[in-house]
Amino acid sequence: MAEAERVIGTPDVDDEAAATAEEPKGKRKIVALFVVAVLAYLLDIGSKTLVVAKLEHHEPFALVGNVLQFEVIRNAGAAFGFGEAYTVVFTCIAAAVIVVIARLSRKLHSLPWAIALGLLLGGAFGNLTDRIFRSPGLFHGAVVDFIAPAHFAIFNLADSAICCGGVLIVILSFRGLDPDGTVHKD
């Protein structure tokens, strides 16, 4: 009889316990997202600061012969140097990515998605920081790229984080795992 008298939409004691048990689980995933993002950001900014201070205006530094070098360049464009005249557009895109990830994080209950989105967020913030604060000026800054594998584009740790996060998102999507933790088998 008590069940029939219950107002629709009000939780049982069991529903409240389940909701309380799930709440910290979701918060832990948000914390994981931001921890990964902060680590990716700090590694990127720290590496760029060190490289600019020690290697800019010097000959490339060989790490593994001609296979892998550190060579500092300033990239005003997107990946592979495309779109150098559109720095402001890339700044807006990076800002939009950050907003989308922040909004998505409210429904985040999957640790793999938290890691993937954290990598994207940290990388986007790293390159956005360059675009806002580096020369030639506010919102026109050039991103510092320095990792130079043979026969490939020069990139930085933010680019690596963005690519790894993107690949992880593709894998999670193909496996049917959603950011809210549900799994689809179709």
Residues annotated as catalytic are 145, 159
Structure tokens at 162: 């963005």
Q: Which residues contact 175 (CB under 8 A, 6 or more apart)?
A: 183
Sorted by sequence, the CB contacts under 8 Å of residue 128 that are 6+ apart come out as 91, 94, 95, 98
CA nearest to 146, candidates 154, 137, 138: 154
Q: Characterize 44-70 residue by residue with b for buried, 16 or more Cβ atoms within 10 angstroms of its Cβ, and e for exposed.
A: bbebbeebeeeeeeeeeeeeeeeeebb
- Interior CA angle at 111 toward 93 and 120, to 5°? 20
Rounded-to-integer distance, Cα 159 and Cα 154, Å: 10
How many angstroms separate the most distant Cα atoms in the chain? 82
Point out which residues pair with 69 in neighbouring strands.
62, 148
